[in-house]
Structure formats: structure tokens, C-alpha cells
Amino acid sequence: MVHLHAYLILQAIAAVFVVASVTMKGMVRLRVSGIISNVFDFLAAALSLSIVGIVKYGVVLPVNYVRLREMMKLIKRAELAASGFPTMEWLKPFMHRRPAKAGELIFKKGDMADRMYLVATGKYQLVESGIEFVNGGMVGELGLLSPDNHRTQGLRCMEAGDLYEISYDHVRELYFQNPEFGFYFLKLTSKRLFENIAHLESELARRPPAPAADAALA
């Protein structure tokens, strides 16, 4: 009878956290609630000597814990990147690697923008502005924030190498799973936007001034 009461209490506590997780929006809180629920479910299964329950929650519990750690690492790396040197290296675990050949046009101006790229090896250049990207450089992320999601410049591979790519849909998924990631991602892309503007301004400043109109008519 004592074991039955303890079993029912453990099941009730687990149920409370399952119901609570349904109302949560953030993935981190949902994972934490799920882990707590799994712990009580596992204890209840062990108390009742349910082999099925022990195996089930013995597998689900560590999986939830691993996923929670991945999300916490993602948020921490995004935070560090947004507060320091602007890099997207922390996104690599969520990206796919693809090769690029010298001379290959990765995308051209006017194309629909649906993904962004992180340079692993090789050299790449924006066709219209001449801005180059090498190891660690991120390109294509601003298309996610543009109103019409079209490429404003083309990207060509100058030296063969590899790119990491991630779809905008996957980025949105990460954003909605955890708003903190979204905040740091927007902060980082904004920082890159201002850096691009500064780069273009410095390029314009280095160009020789255009001849005066009256000199041209002389």
C-alpha cells in the first residue's frame, strides 16, 4: 500500500510537469519541464518494477538532457558572438557542408534568398561590390531580413573550397524554439549590416573624385 501511494504521488508530480510544459513557449523551459517529468516517471517505473517504463524513461531522459545542453550552448555562443567578434561559427552543428568549385556562381543578384552560408575553406566574392569572404566569413544572412527575400548581390567562388549552409526555415525554427537565440541572432546580423555599410563607405572614400561638371565641358 505504501508503494502504491508513493507511485501515485510520483505519477501525479510527473503529470503536473507534463501539463506545465504544454503551456510553455520557450524550448529551454519546455526541455527542463520535460526532464523533471521524466525523472519522476522513471522513479515511478522503478518503484513499480515496470521494465517497459524503466527502459522508456531511461532513454527519453538523457535525450532530453542532451537536447537541453545543445540549446544552452547555442544561446551562450550566440550571446558571446553578439557581444564580441561577429562570427557564426556556433551555428556549424546546425549547418550542412557543401563543396564549391572555382568560378562557380553560388547565387546571383535577384535570386530568391532561402539560405545563408559560412565559409569553411576557399575564397568567395560578391560580384557587384567586390567584397571577399574567406575562412569564417558569413554571407547571405541579410536576405532573411529583407522585405522581398531576394539577393541584392551575386556570390562567386574564386578559389575552390567548402561552404556550410543553413536554410532560413531552420533559422526561423531555432528562433521560435528560443527567443533568446533570436535576439542575439538579430543583434549579430545588425552588427554585420553596419560593418558592410562601413566597408562600402571606405571603398567609396578611396575612389578618386569624379571630375567637376564644368571641367568635363571644357
Q: Which three cell numbers stand for residue 141?
A: 544572412
Distance CA 34, CA 42 (A): 12
Q: Classify 84 as helix, strand or coil.
A: coil
**pLDDT by residue (tens digit) across 95-113?**
899 999 999 999 998 899 9
Confidence at residue 213, expressed as pLDDT on a 0 to 100 scale: 46
For residues 76 and 125, is the Cβ–Cβ distance under 8 A? Answer: no
Distance CA 94, CA 167 (A): 10
Kindly state the percentage of the chain with pLDDT values over 90. Answer: 16
**pLDDT by residue (tens digit) across 162-194?**
999 999 888 887 777 666 667 767 776 777 677
**pLDDT by residue (tens digit) across 123-144?**
999 888 788 888 878 888 877 7
Q: Classify 206 as helix, strand or coil.
A: helix
Q: Which three cell numbers stand for residue 78?
A: 550566440
Confidence at residue 53, expressed as pLDDT on a 0 to 100 scale: 74
Enumerate residues 6+ apart whose C-beta is below 8 A from 128. Answer: 109, 152, 153, 154
Q: Which three cell numbers stand for residue 161?
A: 573550397
Q: Classify 137 as helix, strand or coil.
A: coil
